[in-house]
Amino acid sequence: MGKVLVFVETKGDEPRKASLELLCEAEKLAASGKFSVEAVCFGAMSDVLKGRLLSCVRRLVRFTDPELAAYSPEGYARALAGYAAETGARMIVAGATGIGRDFLPRVAVMLGTGMVSDVTGANWFDEPMTFVRPMFGGKVFAEVAFPASPVVVTARPNSFAMDIPEGVNGEYEEKAAGSLGGAIHTRVVRVEETKGDAVDLTEADLIVAGGRGLKAAENFKLIEDLAAAIGGTVGATRSVVDAKWRDQADQIGKSGKTVSPKLYIGAGISGAIHHIMGMDTSKVVLAVNRDPNAIIFNYANYGIVGDLFEVLPAMTEEIRKRKERG
Ligand SMILES: Cc1cc2nc3c(=O)[nH]c(=O)nc-3n(C[C@H](O)[C@H](O)[C@H](O)COP(=O)(O)OP(=O)(O)OC[C@H]3O[C@@H](n4cnc5c(N)ncnc54)[C@H](O)[C@@H]3O)c2cc1C
């Protein structure tokens, strides 16, 4: 039976959504009887968090080394690769989050294998396994086979259904990786939380993004109001970030974040390829632009040709009214 290790990222009492999606997907693999699945995590673990994870995965291993209390790419990679080698893991999986993208390649190198990054779909039972991943900035989706073992994978958030399993009551183990001192060359001295939406852009189901068509920083209130009305997260183009209307944390695109929401609403955004690369796996795209030839309409399921200063308030108003009516 092939062993699957799922790296779990946590924040406070919650697993990150990208990790939870992978745990739900992995439980399907465990239920098939062809794989055994373990979640691996580092850092603090409250009883609430432990309970939450153990209801989704059959076995949870937490590394307790003090050097791993804060994120360390070298330390996490050494511990996870060591554990994968020790257990003969067939596959190591993590969300394609900032942290997952950062240290999983190191794990692959340490294990002497390759990796497939940013996957949006997988055929776990194929031999060799095959994965779907966007290439060339999302212009094509490639299906790639991975004949080597172990398989190291990062998966784009919002790519796998979050079907929370029922009746799982996993076992918990604490471990020490040991002798990490020599591997760790950097140390976190301070963590500053950025102010922002409660839901991280990369994991948001609903995003309202604004571009230069907003004309000024204060007009982003229109985007914020619509986002608040639908319970969404605010995103922005690089032009907006360069103009200092929004923080860099809000930037979607090639040099910003990659998002895959269920609904992406983009207003006053032209649809430059550098922006599209970060949002083209959105399930549904609604674009608002006064230029009927704006490129973003080529990527939109729904398009509104109009002035965003009229369209956005009207949408927000209508959504609020409908919510009030219940
Ligand atoms: C190496 C590199 C990396 C980059 N990385 C990124 C990235 O990560 N993310 C990113 O977004 N960009 C990135 N860019 C920049 C990118 O190429 C574009 O310049 C940028 O995305 C354009 O932003 P925009 O759509 O807000 O502005 P514009 O292209 O100026 O578009 C504004 C749009 O608003 C519309 N508009 C104007 N007024 C109204 C109105 N009243 N009502 C409705 N619509 C209106 C206009 O018709 C226009 O289509 C990168 C560029 C380079 C070279």
How many CB atoms lie under 10 A from the CB of residue 197? 17
Q: Is residue 145 part of a domain?
A: yes
Same domain, 176 and 27: yes
Same domain, 35 and 140: yes
pLDDT at residue 139, as a whole number: 80
**Is the CB–ligand 1 distance for residue 50 below 6 Å?**
no
Same domain, 39 and 7: yes
**Is the CB–ligand 1 distance for residue 257 below 6 Å?**
no
pLDDT at residue 74, as a whole number: 94
Q: Is residue 213 part of a domain?
A: yes
pLDDT at residue 35, as a whole number: 96
- Looking up residue 36, the CATH number of its domain turns out to be 3.40.50.620
Same domain, 177 and 216: no
Same domain, 178 and 33: yes
Q: Is residue 190 part of a domain?
A: no
Same domain, 140 and 177: yes
Domain stop point among 148, 183, 218:
183
In a 13 Å sphere around the CA of 184, the CA atoms on its Cβ side amount to 20
The closest residue, in CA terms, to atom 28 on ligand 1 is: 270
Domain limits at 306?
201-325
The closest residue, in CA terms, to atom 51 on ligand 1 is: 274
pLDDT at residue 198, as a whole number: 67
**Is the CB–ligand 1 distance for residue 116 below 6 Å?**
no
Q: How far is the CA of 113 from the centre of ligand 1 (A)?
A: 39
Q: Is residue 56 part of a domain?
A: yes
Same domain, 209 and 161: no
Same domain, 86 and 157: yes
Q: Is residue 191 part of a domain?
A: no
Q: Is residue 195 part of a domain?
A: no
Q: How far is the CA of 257 from the centre of ligand 1 (A)?
A: 15
How many CB atoms lie under 10 A from the CB of residue 247? 13
pLDDT at residue 122, as a whole number: 97
**Is the CB–ligand 1 distance for residue 253 below 6 Å?**
yes
Diameter over CA atoms, the chain: 62
Query: Could you list the pLDDT tens digit for every one of the 326 residues in the chain?
Result: 899 999 999 988 999 999 999 999 999 999 999 999 999 999 999 999 999 999 999 999 999 999 999 999 999 999 999 999 999 999 999 999 999 999 999 999 999 999 999 999 999 999 999 999 998 877 889 999 999 999 999 999 989 998 999 989 999 999 999 888 788 988 888 888 777 666 789 989 999 999 999 999 999 999 999 999 999 999 999 999 999 999 999 999 999 999 999 999 999 999 999 999 999 999 999 999 999 999 999 999 999 999 999 999 999 999 999 998 87
Domain stop point among 183, 212, 244:
183
**Is the CB–ligand 1 distance for residue 268 below 6 Å?**
yes
Q: Is residue 139 part of a domain?
A: yes
**Is the CB–ligand 1 distance for residue 134 below 6 Å?**
no
Q: How far is the CA of 238 from the centre of ligand 1 (A)?
A: 7
- SS3 sequence of the chain: CEEEEEECCEECCEECHHHHHHHHHHHHHHHHCCEEEEEEEECCCCHHHHHHHHCCCCEEEEECCHHHCCCCHHHHHHHHHHHHHHHCCCEEEEECCHHHHHHHHHHHHHHCCCEEEEECEEECCCCCEEEEEEEHHHCEEEEEEECCCCEEEEECCCCCCCCCCCCCCCEEEEECCCCCHHHCCCCCCCCCCCCCCCCCHHHCCEEEEECHHHCCHHHHHHHHHHHHHHCCEEEECHHHHHCCCCCHHHEECCCCECCCCCEEEEECCCCCHHHHCCCCCCCEEEEEECCCCCHHHHHCCEEEECCHHHHHHHHHHHHHHHHHHC
- pTM, whole model, 2 decimals? 0.83
Same domain, 211 and 286: yes
Domain stop point among 126, 152, 183:
183
Pocket of ligand 1, candidates 201, 207, 208, 212: which has the most ligand atoms within 8 Å of its Cβ, to mutate? 212
Q: How far is the CA of 97 from the centre of ligand 1 (A)?
A: 24
**Is the CB–ligand 1 distance for residue 275 below 6 Å?**
yes
**Shortest CA distance to 180 belongs to which of 84, 73, 65, 83?**
65
Rounded-to-integer distance, Cα 228 and Cα 266, Å: 15
Same domain, 152 and 217: no
The closest residue, in CA terms, to atom 31 on ligand 1 is: 270
Pocket of ligand 1, candidates 270, 285, 293, 315: which has the most ligand atoms within 8 Å of its Cβ, to mutate? 270
Q: How far is the CA of 297 from the centre of ligand 1 (A)?
A: 13
Q: Any idea which residue has 């994978």 for tokens? A: 153
Same domain, 118 and 23: yes
Please tell me the total count of domains within the chain. 2
Q: How far is the CA of 285 from the centre of ligand 1 (A)?
A: 16
Same domain, 156 and 26: yes
Dihedral sign, CA of 227, 251, 260, 273? positive
- Looking up residue 279, the CATH number of its domain turns out to be 3.40.50.1220
Q: How far is the CA of 170 from the centre of ligand 1 (A)?
A: 48
**Is the CB–ligand 1 distance for residue 272 below 6 Å?**
yes
pLDDT at residue 197, as a whole number: 62
Dihedral sign, CA of 99, 104, 105, 110? positive
Q: Is residue 316 part of a domain?
A: yes
**Is the CB–ligand 1 distance for residue 274 below 6 Å?**
yes
